[in-house]
Every structure is written in C-alpha cells, then in structure tokens.
C-alpha cells in the first residue's frame, strides 16, 4: 500500500480529530469570533515567516529536481505572508509586535530541527503532512461558507486548485520515494507523520484558546 | 555590566517564578507525590537523552578550546542517564516505553534547532541558562531535604561541587565571549535567555500537571 | 576602517594575483582556447548548481530582512545555470555528464560546510568575497573584449549594472554588520576572506590546466 | 552481495592505487624521507583535529545505539591528536603554527559538509571508507617494517587489534543498514565511497609532494 494511504488509515482518528477541531467547525459555520481568528492569523503569520527557514534548508538538502518546484513554493509562502499583512492591515493589527506563543514556537522549532537533523525522507513527510492538513481544513471551511467573508484570500490560497495540485504532487513524490522501504524506516516515518498531525492539532487548539506563555 | 548579571536582573521575576514553581517547592518540602516525581524523571530521561544531540552539535561548532571540557560534560550527561535508569529500575518504570510529552518534545526541538541554526554565542546562552537553572533548582531542593531521600543521586549531580564549578566556568566564558557586544546582538541573546527560562518553567509545569498530548 | 577596505588592503597581493591569472588575462585578450573556456564553463555550471545549496542554507540562517533580496539572488543563480545551458548547447557539450573536478568539489564543500557550520558573519564574508571576485574578473574581461564574443551573456551577467548594485549592497551590509567587531573575531573573518580568495584562484587554475582527479 | 564487498570490487583499481601510493610504499620500505613524513604528520594532525567536528555531528545525527561506541571513537581521536603532539615534540615541530594545505582543507570540508548535509547512511559510508583505508594502509606499513621505528605509535593505533575490531564493526553495521536498499540509493552511496577513496589518495599525494596553496 502507498505510504500516504497507509498512514492516513493508521492515524485516521487523530486526523479526523484535527479536522473537526472547534476552530475549524466554528469557522466553517461562520460563527468563529473575530478575536479568535485574529489571534490565529497573527500566530500563523509568525509560523509561515519562520517556516520559510525550514523550507530553505529543504531546498538546500533535496535532490536537484525538487529545487525548481520548491522555488515556486517559496514564492507561495511569501504570498501567504502578504495575505496576513493585508488582513492585519484591515483589522488594525500590528504584526511586527506579535510574538510567537509557546505552541507556535514549538512547532517552528520542530520543523527547523528536523530540516537540519533528520534525513530527507523524514522532512518530506513533515512537508506533505502539514500542507495536506491545511488543504483539507480549508476545503472544509470553503464548503461551509458563502462568498464574501473576510477569509476568502485564505480559502483561495489553501483550498484552491493550485494548492491542490501542489499537495497531489507532494503525495505522489513521497509515495514514490518511500516505495519498497523496509519496515524499520517506515516506523520512523509513521512517527513523524503522527507528530506533525499532533502539532497541527495543537496549533488550532492554541489559537482557539489563545494559549500564551504562562 | 557582565552579560549574566544583566539578564538575571532584567528577567528576575521570570527566574524567581521558575525557581518557586510548586514542583520545586513541594519537592524541597518533602511532600511531592511519587507519581509526579516519576513523571518528571521519565520525561527528564528523554530530555537528557535528546539533549546529548544538542550537545554533540555544540561540540562540533564551538572553538577547539571547548572540546575537551565539553567531552567531560558529555560523560556527565551519560551519567545522568544512568541516574534515571537506576531510579526507574527501583520504581519499576520501563523507560524504553516512555514517549516525550509535547513540552518535552518542544524544549528538545528548541535546543536542536538552535544548535544547527543559531550562532555559537546564542547556543552558549542556552547552555548556560539551562544548566544554571538546574543548579539553582536542585540547590533549593538540597537545602530543604534531609539525607536519605530517593533524590540524593539527582541532588548530588546538579547541586554538587563539580556541577557548581562547571556552571561557574560556563558563566565566566559566556561573560568573556559577550564582552563589548553591540546592543543589537545583546537584544537577540536576551531573548534567547528568556526563551530558555520559559521552557524551563514549562518543563516543571508539564511534570507537575502530567501534561500529555491532547 | 571598514572591513572590506581593510581586508582588500591586507590581502592585496593575493587578490591581484587571482585577478591576473592567465585564464583571465588570455580571456580578456581574446586569446583563450575554446577547450579551456569550455572546461571552465562545465565546471562553473556544477559550481553554481551546488552553490544554490550553500545559498539556500544562508536564506534559512540570515535575519528576515535578507530573505527578499536573497530570493532575487536565487533567481539570479538559476539564470546563471541557464546561461551555461545555452552555452553548452551551442558548443554541443552534454552538461548532465559533467562531474566536478577535485577543486570544484572542494570549493563547493567549503561553501556548504561553512553554510551549516560557521556563524552568519563568516558566511557573509564568503558570499561577498566570491561575488566581488567574479564582478572584478568579468569587468576586466569586458574591458578587454569587443562586442560579439561568445562570452557576452557571462559578461553582462557578472560585469553588468545589476550585479554591481548587488555587490555594492553586500559590501555595505557586511561593513555595517562588522562595525565595532573585536579583533579576535576580525582575525577569524580575515582568514575566511583569504580562504575564499585562494579558492577563487584555484578555480581559475583548475580550469586553465584542466585539472582532474588523479 | 553485501554493500562493502560490492563497492570494494567495483572500485578495486582505485582502492589498490591508493594503497600502493609511493608514500605508503616508501614508508613500508623504510625509505621515506623524514621531511615528507613530518609534512604528513603535521597535516594529519590538522585533519584529525577537524575530523572531530565531523564526528561530533555524526554523534548528534545517528540513532542512539551508536552514541556509546562513538564516544569511544571520539576518545580515540583525541588519542591520535596526542600521538601527533608527541611525535611533533620529538621532531621539534610547532604544531600550533601549522595551517591546512588545500587538500587537507578540502577533505575536511567534504567531511563537514556531508555531516550536516547528507543523510545518515552517506555519512556512514564516509566514516567506514576513511577508517578502512587507514587500517589497510597501516597494516601494510606494519608488515614492511621492523620494530623500533619512530612510527610505532601510529602503527599500533591504526593497524592494531582495537582498530581492527572497530573497522569490522563499522563494516557489519553499514552492511546491515544498507541491506535491501534500492539501486538508486546504492548509486548515490557508491559515489560517496569513490569520493572518499579519491580524497584518501589525494591526501597521500599532497603529503608526498608537500603540496601547498599556490
């Protein structure tokens, strides 16, 4: 069985729990409070800004054939920063004063540590899992909302056709890379998948409860 | 003013709050529950085991004159693992089945990401801060307890004379390294100090409340 | 005195020797053999392709304000690869069969090891030195040649106005970063400057003598 | 076929050429000039000192079960530094004034870049190949010489029983790690093996001809 099929089956309950987090449920239902969404936007701005570092190390370490598509992804990450800047400007949020919460800092640290420390395949798993999680979460939001919400830029970015193609490509490449892997290595990659899902869940949880350093 | 004097003054309240965490208060008063101490021991075992990776990268990146003393520290970290293994054996805890909690995983990720990503001076700040925090916490524990507790190995290790000399050496080296630094760089190092104190606090908090992945 | 002024003065003879290497002299005089230029082009193609990895790690490790300009540089490096591909196509060279010579491999290894291992300032010195060396070498070539040579794409790229502005910006940033540095750190950076000049010299030497693995 | 059997067969001529370098031939025949041996000793001192950095990164990145044996290897590398210091003292060489030649610098850069940049298996290939090459070279030297030469410390270190067991262990672990690998990954590891053999050859060549920066 393909790697992604297998891990989605193995960790189906964790994946579902992440996708049905109250943050996503209320956002899809058009009833999430502005304060909570603002808090998420400020933290995700930090997250994306720091994830550019994770991504740059991956550009360094991956085989040459990934560099051109990854340069497009990098441009996409800069576009996401612009989406947050535009949103913050409308909401009169001063993004340059925002500091990462512990969970935002932890997730970014996990990405960065892995970029340098883990082998290429493990980093591919993290990248795929995080992008797939966002794609599915925002498709759910798109399905629940009418046009004209303040979230349209985000919906178009993560639920749109270009992002879908990007996630499909990641999935196909990851499955190809891990084809024929021994069980011991798959066990390690499964752990990395689960860790990433857990951090995704914690990120929604942090935003929903506005969790700060204590 | 020396770097360490200045940051301890600047972040005095955060430092005091960390040192007076209920975990340390109750441990010093001889009234911490065994379950909580066991939980801490299992997580700190994971933490030290992974911190050996942080430390090994520092051995690679620091100037040659630090390598010999750092090899001693490495032996010290292996000794700490032995302390945990001995304790676990007495308490019939199966250490090899323990998984890191999110806060343990986050703190280790912060260390490892910094080891590879940050400059040498920033890593020196992390190392000093974490070791100093442990030294002071365990001196407090030693001051509160009579002889004959199950904690004596840990007390001797972190509150003892050898560890004191090691922390003093770190302090002197860090102050020498940062002497004459421009304000912009000191601002960055101050942030790193505060981050490390915060993670130290969170680690006690995690153990005290047995915080798991949610 | 500014860092760049000081090191160019200190290592003036090495710098001049590099710039007056027979490869550059003969190329500027329009009398370099095609075989030697082809050999250089094939190796510099490899060098640039691998230098993208060095550069990506720098994008990860440098402060945020450098990321946008560095993304432009990354696009510039991809443009250089295209120049080599076009040249190779005209000369019927199969670039994908080219392997790095030992000196090309060594220079790339030096860059990559530094990117991960050395502090940010040391990497800035390498980047500045390598780019400055190419800018000056190709200005010399431009000054010596009439229009209409097969080298025009390379001349325009490295001797042109855009590259001049980029090198000036690197110079100004590096001088600002190192302002007020202690002598001990400057001594380390001076070594890095000299090492980079030496590798630049060796690269011309390797191309001129078509030095291979022995 | 086991990985090591296969690559030794595939690159037999390069391996033999390295082992029959005039440096080793003349050393084994007791007719190598003191000046050349001194030059080698000074450069190998630098090489080992910097290889400790390579090795420390490997200690960080390898699975836990390798850390204890690697700590022994680290002690072994410090012992090698002591052998060089003792030799230099007898020969009145000031080791702290020695600078790396380009080939020494290149080989160390290759090791360090790989430690951070390549996956764990590629680094295992480098480690095995370099240690195996030294073991075989010094066994050849031991076979050719009577007792009582100034080289006995080096012979005992690299041709001795402890080192043989260490190299055997590396070989067995590497063969176990690469068992069942796909052809595409093996092709990459083969390249790394060949590169390491080439750098080993160049190192003898550099010492024999006392090659300096030009």
pLDDT tens digit sequence for C148-174: 999 999 999 999 999 999 999 999 999
What's residue C214's pLDDT? Answer: 74
Q: How far apart are CA A210 and CA B10, in angstroms?
A: 26
Of A54, A67, A74, the CB nearest to C71: A74
Q: Residues of D with CB below 8 A from B75's CB?
A: 71
Whether residue D214 is predicted with pLDDT greater than 80 in this model: the reply is no
| Cβ pairs bridging A and D (under 8 Å) | 10
Q: Are B8 and B125 in contact (CB under 8 A)?
A: no
- CA C37, CA C23: separation in Å to the nearest integer? 9
Residues 6+ apart with CB under 8 A from D132: D4, D167, D170, D171
What's residue A85's pLDDT?
A: 98
Using CB atoms, which residue from D56, D71, D78 is nearest to B60? D56
pLDDT at D120: 98
pLDDT for position C123? 98
Whether residue D64 and residue B49 make contact (CB cut-off 8 A), yes or no, is yes
Cβ-contact A190, A4 below 8 angstroms: no
In angstroms, what separates the C-alpha of C12 from chain A's closest C-alpha?
A: 33
B205 contacts in chain A (CB < 8 Å): 214
> Looking at chain B, which subunits does it touch, using at least 3 CB pairs closer than 8 Å as the criterion?
A, C, D
**Interchain contact, C117 vs B61, CB within 8 Å:** yes
Do residue D202 and residue C195 have CB atoms under 8 angstroms apart? no
Residue C67 forms contact with A (CB below 8 Å)? yes
> Cβ contact (<8 Å) for B182 and C180?
yes
Q: Which chains touch C (3 or more CB pairs under 8 A)?
A: A, B, D
Q: List chains touching D (3+ CB pairs under 8 A).
A: A, B, C
Contacts 24+ apart (CB under 8 A), B72-76: B73/B166, B74/D71, B75/D71, B76/B157, B76/B163, B76/B166
Give the closest of A59, A68, A75 to C56, CB-based.
A59
CB interface of A with C, residues 85-144, below 8 Å: 115-116
pLDDT the model gives residue C202: 98
* Residue A107 Cα, gap to closest chain B Cα (Å): 7
Mutate to test the interface with A, among B109, B115, B188 (most CBs of A within 10 A): B109
Question: What is the predicted pLDDT for the residue at B32?
Answer: 98
What is the model's pLDDT at position A47?
98
Q: Does residue C8 have a pLDDT over 80?
A: yes
Which residues of chain C have a CB within 8 Å of the CB of A56? 56-57, 59-60
Cβ pair C53:D117 closer than 8 A: yes
Which among B110, B116, B195 has CB closest to A117?
B116
Stretches in chain A below the pLDDT threshold 70: none
pLDDT of residue B214: 74
CB D193 within 8 A of CB D110: no
- What pLDDT was estimated at residue D42? 98
| CB B135, CB B159: distance < 8 Å | yes
Nearest by CB to D182, from A117, A119, A180: name it: A180
- Two structure tokens written together for D160: 């001795």
Among candidates D106, D117, D214 on the partner chain, residue whose Cβ is nearest the Cβ of C106: D106
Q: At what angle do helices D12-19 and D120-144 cross, to 10 degrees?
A: 50
The answer to whether B117 contacts C60, with C-beta atoms less than 8 Å apart, is yes
Burial class for D64, CB neighbours closer than 10 Å (0-12, 13-18, 19+): exposed
Chain C residue closest in CA terms to B58: C117
Mean pLDDT of C40-68: 97
Each residue's pLDDT tens digit, D29-88: 999 999 999 999 999 999 999 999 999 999 999 999 999 999 999 999 999 999 999 999
Confidence of residue B206 (pLDDT cuts 50, 70, 90): very high
Shortest alpha-carbon distance between residue A182 and chain D (Å) = 8
Q: Is the pLDDT of residue B143 over 90?
A: yes
D56 to chain A nearest CA, in Å? 13
Q: Which token pair is B76?
A: 């010290």
CB contact under 8 A, B198 and A205: no
Q: If you measure CA to CA, which chain D residue comes closest to C198? A: D213
Query: pLDDT value at position B108?
Result: 98
Element (H, E) at B99: none
**Residue located via tokens 């130290």:** B200
Å between D152 CA and nearest CA of chain C: 30
CA gap D173, B164 in Å, rounded: 40
User: Which residue from A102, A116, A201 is facing B106, i.e. has the nearest CB?
Assistant: A102
Residues of chain C found within 8 Å of residue B119, distances taken between Cβ atoms: 119-120
Average per-residue pLDDT in chain D? 97
* CB C199, CB C15: distance < 8 Å: no
Report the pLDDT value the prediction gives residue A162, as an integer from 0 to 100.
97
Measure D199 CA to nearest chain B CA, in Å. 21
> From the list C49, C60, C115, which residue is nearest A53 (CB)?
C60
Rounded to whole angstroms, the Cα distance separating C35 from B49 reads 56
Contact between residue A39 and residue A210 where contact means Cβ atoms under 8 Å apart: yes
How many other CB atoms sit within 10 Å of the CB of residue C158?
Answer: 23
Total CB pairs under 8 A between chain B and C: 10
> pLDDT digits over D141-190, tens only?
999 999 999 999 999 999 999 999 999 999 999 999 999 999 999 999 99
Per-residue confidence band for C91, with pLDDT thresholds at 50, 70 and 90: very high
What residues in B contact D61, CB-CB < 8 Å? 53
Give C61→chain A minimum CA distance, Å. Answer: 7
CB contact under 8 A, C117 and B180: no
- Chain B: residue whose CA lies nearest to C181: B181
- Residue B194 contacts A, CB cutoff 8 Å: no
Chain A residue with minimal CA distance to C62? A53
Q: Contact A120/D119, CB-based, under 8 Å?
A: yes
The answer to whether A113 and B113 are in contact (CB under 8 A) is yes
Using a CB-CB cut-off of 8 Å, the residues of chain B touching A99 are none
Distance from CA of C133 to the nearest CA of D (A): 17
| pLDDT score recorded for residue A214 | 74
B77 at D interface, C-beta within 8 A: no
In Å, how far is A105's CA from the nearest CA of chain B? 8
> What residues of chain B lie within 8 A of the CB of D54, using their CB?
60
Q: Do D117 and C117 touch (CB under 8 A)?
A: no
Name the 3-class secondary structure at D195: helix
pLDDT digits (tens, 9 = 90+) for B180-197: 999 999 999 999 999 999
- How many Å lie between the alpha carbon of C150 and the closest alpha carbon of chain D? 30
Chain C nearest-CA distance from A122, in A, is: 18
pLDDT recorded at residue B76: 97
Two structure tokens written together for D91: 């020969």
Q: How many CB atoms lie within 10 A of CB C46?
A: 18
Interface test with C, best of A45, A65, A67 (most C CBs within 10 A): A67
Distance CA(B55)–CA(B93), nearest Å, equals 26
Q: Are B188 and B122 in contact (CB under 8 A)?
A: yes
> What is the DSSP annotation of D138-180?
HHHHHHH--TT-TTHHHHHHHHSHHHHHHHHHHHHHHHHHTTT
> What is the mean pLDDT of the segment spanning B147-164?
97
Is the separation of the CB atoms in C25 and C17 below 8 Å?
no
pLDDT value of position A44: 98
Size of interface A-B (CB pairs under 8 A): 52
Q: How confident is the model over C12-26, as pLDDT tens digits?
A: 999 999 999 999 999
Cα distance from A2 to chain C (closest Cα, Å)?
A: 30
Residue D182: closest C-alpha in chain A: A180
Confidence at residue C100, expressed as pLDDT on a 0 to 100 scale: 98
């Amino acid at each position: 069985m393909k790697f992604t099929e297998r891990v989605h089956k193995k960790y189906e309950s964790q994946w579902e729990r992440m996708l049905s987090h109250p943050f996503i449920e209320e956002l899809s239902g058009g009833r999430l409070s502005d304060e909570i969404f603002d808090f998420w936007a400020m933290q995700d701005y930090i997250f994306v800004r720091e994830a550019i570092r994770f991504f740059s190390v991956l550009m360094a370490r991956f085989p040459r054939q990934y560099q051109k598509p990854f340069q497009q992804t990098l441009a996409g990450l800069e576009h996401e920063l612009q989406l947050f800047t535009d949103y913050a400007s409308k909401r009169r949020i001063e993004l340059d004063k925002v500091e990462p919460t512990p969970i935002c800092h932890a997730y970014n640290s996990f990405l960065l540590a892995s970029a340098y420390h883990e082998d290429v395949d493990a980093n591919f798993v993290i990248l795929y899992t995080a992008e797939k999680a966002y794609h599915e979460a925002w498709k759910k939001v798109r399905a629940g909302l009418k046009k004209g919400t303040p979230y349209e830029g985000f919906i178009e970015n993560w639920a749109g056709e270009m992002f879908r193609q990007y996630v499909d490509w990641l999935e196909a490449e990851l499955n190809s890379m891990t084809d024929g892997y021994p069980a011991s290595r798959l066990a390690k990659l499964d752990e990395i998948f689960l860790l990433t899902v857990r951090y995704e869940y914690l990120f929604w949880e942090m935003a929903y409860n506005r969790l700060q350093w204590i």
